[in-house]
């Protein structure tokens, strides 16, 4: 051997962070092993006893028969299992004659916990600077559910689409559908879908129409379709949001290649079927009692999906769709009981950002144009009914039933003008709440008018004070880890809010007022080069923090408790605690960027 283990390890960056004493300790707990080409180093599913360093040769890492990665001289493998204690997720096989330094995992973990630089390097190494943490966690807890909703829509297609032209008569279209045993026929023009006729449409024609009519007269148009390479889960969301049962699949040339139905997707996404059933029930509900019955099952369904491994970004969109539908139904039912001027019902806060999870409450306001008449009483009744069906009232009273938040368009403009120019602590707090506006029901032109006013009148000083507010509360990161994690960390206060608030500031500076979702804001800011190379770090950190919070609340709810935002060290495994620290470092770095950009150091 050209160099003894100590000298070899010293030249590999993570081990160069060790003191002589620490390095000697690892070498004393190290074995040197040789493997012939084709020999198994370790097998998937077993528990690792070592962390492996390649001295000579190369190792193939396999998932069953699929080669996932190749490890060569000076590279390290087997780390995740050694740190977490979970079974090995891959099989390692020597691709040529191999010599490995095998460090006993207990000794490795002892140094890992004691040396912050060493552990930080491995956390970064394992997660490739955080990008693939989600995949790493799911190596050991991956589910069929995840594989299904990430697979492409194309894999659900069972046969070529049955098609016809615009001028095909309904009778002929019906015969074609019967002969092909399908529930829909795609109406095409030059191979591209322009509409669809389903069996339910046919029934209406047979009862109320003329079977000699051209299908163009009765088809659903424009055609709703999805790209064949999109994931199944996106197709599910499209069906959910559009309230349809048939979805056309197109290729890269926008030509129809198949049709999938809600049944096709639900057969694959069985755990989500309860939520989609609740959603449809909410859409059809005709009474407050019915809505209450449906909403009572939503949190349970969401908790189950969260514990099945659904991502925060997708799950929050689902939750938003369900709650929006419930609020819309209450508004439609209630407005019939009042004589109302033109108005729009607006959501703020997490609902305004489309980031609701299990523990959600009301954050709403009204903009109206005309005589106040019965608007306040209407809002009180709506807030009461929302509370009755299971969407609790806001404890801070940010609700349309509060006269302060039930105003004409001109009064709202006066509010924002005052807040922009009198930057008290209270007004900054109001801006943080009311700058995440999203219309739910009503005359959206009032919402658009207010947004334009905000865009034209926000001051640079207001943006600067919002930047200061976004950087005041810093993550509790110390040299030896996260301070106070043993007692509990408020992940919303120290992780989620700083990112959401900082991103909002940058969006406002760049005139982005209509986009409120944090992920979408980050993506838009990246497109206009407003956040440098921070996009991926921020997206991954934000998702990880939200998913920890979502899982925590799901577990609490499943155990019969109300969810909070306090994460304790005994809830997360070792690797998650280190990645949490990395996520909070990203938060801290982002806050420094905000401070520097808006010159709010020391204020």
Encode 305-372 in three state secondary structure. HHHCCCCHHHHHHHHHHHHHHHHHHHHHHHHCCCCCCEEEEEECHHHHCCCCCCCCCCCEEEEEECCC
Domain assignment present for residue 47? The answer is: yes
Residue 98 lies in a domain: yes
Dihedral sign computed on CA atoms, order 370, 371, 377, 378:
negative
563 and 522 housed in the same domain: yes
Whether residue 219 sits in one domain with residue 116: no
Same domain, yes or no, for 340 and 475? no
Neighbour order of strands in the sheet with 66-71: 40-42, 91-94, 59-63, 66-71
Task: With respect to residue 42, please indicate whether it lies within any of the assigned structural domains.
Answer: yes
Is residue 138 pLDDT above 60, yes or no?
no
Give the pLDDT confidence of 261-293 residue by residue, as tens digits: 877 776 565 555 567 777 778 888 889 999 998
* pTM, to two decimals: 0.63
Rounded to an integer, the average pLDDT of 365-373 is 90
> In CATH, what number is assigned to the domain containing residue 357?
3.30.460.10
Of 268, 301, 323, the residue that ends a domain is 268
Looking at the fold, whether 473 and 451 belong to one and the same domain comes out as no
Q: Do 84 and 116 sit in the same domain of this protein?
A: yes
pLDDT value at position 170? 93
49 within some domain: yes
Residues in the chain: 603
Q: Does 147 map to a domain?
A: no
Bridge partners of 180? Answer: none
Each residue's pLDDT tens digit, 90-113? 899 999 999 999 999 999 988 887
Q: What is the CATH number of the domain that holds 482?
A: 1.20.120
- Residues 585, 477, single domain; the answer is yes
Measure the CA–CA gap between 476 and 348, rounded to whole angstroms: 28
**Last-in-domain residue among 247, 268, 289:** 268
Nearest to 524 by CA among 503, 495, 540: 503
Q: Domain total for the chain?
A: 4
In a domain, residue 576? The reply is yes
In this model, does residue 505 exceed pLDDT 50? yes
Whether 226 and 209 share a structural domain: yes
| 253 lies in the same domain as 327 | no
In the predicted structure, residue 1 carries a pLDDT above the cut 50: no
- With helix as H, strand as E and coil as C, how does 251-293 read? CCCCCEEEEEEHHHHHHHCHHHHHHHHHHHHHHHCCCHHHHHH
Provide the residue range defining the domain that includes 389. 272-458
Q: Is residue 59 part of a domain?
A: yes
> Which of 234, 268, 302 marks a domain boundary?
268
Of the segments 152-156, 230-234, 464-468, which one has the largest average pLDDT value? 464-468
The reply to whether 451 and 304 lie within a common domain is yes
Q: What is the CATH number of the domain that holds 231?
A: 3.10.580.10
Q: Is 360 found in the same domain as 257?
A: no
Closest among 74, 228, 69 to 135, alpha carbons compared:
69
Residue 77 region by backbone torsions, left for phi larger than 0, else alpha for psi between -120 and 50, else beta: beta
Q: Tell me the pLDDT tens digit for each residue of 181-216.
A: 888 999 999 889 999 998 888 888 877 778 899 999
Q: Which two tokens stand for residue 136?
A: 């790493």
User: Does 447 share its domain with 478?
Assistant: no
Q: What is the pLDDT of residues 383-441, one digit of tens each?
A: 999 999 999 999 999 999 999 999 999 999 999 999 999 999 999 999 999 999 999 99
Task: Give pLDDT, residue 131.
Answer: 42
Read off the CATH number of the domain in which 119 is found: 2.60.120.10
pLDDT category of residue 480 using cuts at 50, 70 and 90:
low
Q: Is residue 144 part of a domain?
A: no
Query: For tokens 């890492």, what's the residue?
Result: 61
Examine the domain organization and report whether 350 and 364 are in the same domain: yes
């Amino acid at each position: 051997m050209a160099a003894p283990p100590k000298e070899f390890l010293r030249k590999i960056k993570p081990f160069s962070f060790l003191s002589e004493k620490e390095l000697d300790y690892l070498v004393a707990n190290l074995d040197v092993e040789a493997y012939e080409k084709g020999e198994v180093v370790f097998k998937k599913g077993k528990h690792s006893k070592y962390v492996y360093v390649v001295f000579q040769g190369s190792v193939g890492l396999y998932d069953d028969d699929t080669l996932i990665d190749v490890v060569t001289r000076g590279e390290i493998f087997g780390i995740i299992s050694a740190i977490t204690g979970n079974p090995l997720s891959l099989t390692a096989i020597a691709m040529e004659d191999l010599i490995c330094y095998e460090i006993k995992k207990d000794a490795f973990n002892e140094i890992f916990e004691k040396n912050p630089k060493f552990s930080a390097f491995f956390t970064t190494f394992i997660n490739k600077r955080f990008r693939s943490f989600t995949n790493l966690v799911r190596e050991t807890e991956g589910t069929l559910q995840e594989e299904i909703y990430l697979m492409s829509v194309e894999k659900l297609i069972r046969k070529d689409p049955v098609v016809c032209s615009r001028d095909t008569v309904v009778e002929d279209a019906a015969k074609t559908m019967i002969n092909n045993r399908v529930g829909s026929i795609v109406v095409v023009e030059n191979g591209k879908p322009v509409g669809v006729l389903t069996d339910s449409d046919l029934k209406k024609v047979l009862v109320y129409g003329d079977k000699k009519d051209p299908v163009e007269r009765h088809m659903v148009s424009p055609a709703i379709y999805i790209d064949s390479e999109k994931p199944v889960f996106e197709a599910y969301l499209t069906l959910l949001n559009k309230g349809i049962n048939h979805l056309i699949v197109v290729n890269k040339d926008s030509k129809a290649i198949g049709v999938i139905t809600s049944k096709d997707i639900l057969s694959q996404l069985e755990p989500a079927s309860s939520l989609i059933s609740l959603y449809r029930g909410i859409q059809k509900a005709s009474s407050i009692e019915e809505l209450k019955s449906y909403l009572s099952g939503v949190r349970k369904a969401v908790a189950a999906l969260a514990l099945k491994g659904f991502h925060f970004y997708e799950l929050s969109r689902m939750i938003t769709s369900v709650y929006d539908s419930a609020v819309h139904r209450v508004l439609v039912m209630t407005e019939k009981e009042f004589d109302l001027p033109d108005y729009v019902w607006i959501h703020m806060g997490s609902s305004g950002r489309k980031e609701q999870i299990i523990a959600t409450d009301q954050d709403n306001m009204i903009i109206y144009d005309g005589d106040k008449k019965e608007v306040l009483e209407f809002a009180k009744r709506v807030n009461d009914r929302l509370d009755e069906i299971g969407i609790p009232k806001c404890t801070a009273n940010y609700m349309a039933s509060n006269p302060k938040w039930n105003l004409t368009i001109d009064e709202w403009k006066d509010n924002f003008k005052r807040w922009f120019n009198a930057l008290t602590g209270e007004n900054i707090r109001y801006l943080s709440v009311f700058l995440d506006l999203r219309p739910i029901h009503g005359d959206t032109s009032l919402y658009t008018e207010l947004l334009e006013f905000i865009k034209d009148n926000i001051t640079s000083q207001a943006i600067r004070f919002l930047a200061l507010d976004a950087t005041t509360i810093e993550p509790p990161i110390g040299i030896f880890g996260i301070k106070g994690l043993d007692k509990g960390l408020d992940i919303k206060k120290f992780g989620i809010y700083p990112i959401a608030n900082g991103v909002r500031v940058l969006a406002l500076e760049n005139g982005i007022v209509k986009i409120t979702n944090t992920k979408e804001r980050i993506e838009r800011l990246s497109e206009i080069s407003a956040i440098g190379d921070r996009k991926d770090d921020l997206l991954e950190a934000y998702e990880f923090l939200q998913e920890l919070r979502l899982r925590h609340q799901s577990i609490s709810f499943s155990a019969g408790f109300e969810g909070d935002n306090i994460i304790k060290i005994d809830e997360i495994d070792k690797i998650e605690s280190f990645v949490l620290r990395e996520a909070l470092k990203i938060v801290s770095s982002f806050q420094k960027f905000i401070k520097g950009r808006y010159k709010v150091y020391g204020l």
